[in-house]
Structure 1
């Protein structure tokens, strides 16, 4: 008898929890509305760009070094390695050149490096990166030249 009573009580609790859950999910609730452009904060008057807000200060001409390192780690290090020696995990498979090699650096101009980053070459894919990041990667490669 006790077993039957426990089973009935369990069903009652299950039904009550289910009903509370279904009633709590009323989609016709009046407190939810569609998000509109008017819900955003208006631009402050001193931005002076016709209501447009710049994501970064316009006067900044130098790209953040952390952004360049992030681009290197995500796009270059798997083949060229952390230091650029061509010793990344996939470097031997794609025959990635040692970018620190002085003879290689003498043969390649900055413009050629930037073009290769943008368009790819041989097994190296093209990378759609902003020009300041590409320029920063070229500077990073130049600064790693073996002495």
Structure 2
């Protein structure tokens, strides 16, 4: 059988689907890293807040207290920025996943078209073979029944 018109489409669709899968994977890794950094900042903020509570219980100066508060505010700002980064990474991941799903569906559609084409060709070949068999049988019958006339 000659190469199907769908085989090139399948090859190209497969390459696009794999590239989309790679981009989706990179976006997921970036999202995981952004979430991990946010968790680290949150853990560091909680640890630093606990230090403030412990130090406050022992008695600290107003200047030390203000320094603690300023640092906690900076951590809060860093966490807010990191939350924005997490959201941006999440949006990118969702877009990349949608792109991958789109490419995957196209690949599967081309594969289905190829399968249908192969099934049609197999059916046609089966009909041709049946016709050849019928013609051969008819010729043999004709030859046997009219063999004396020749």
Superposition TM-score, scaled by structure 1 size? 0.24
Greater relative contact order (Cα < 8 A, sep 6+):
2
Superposition TM-score, scaled by structure 2 size? 0.23
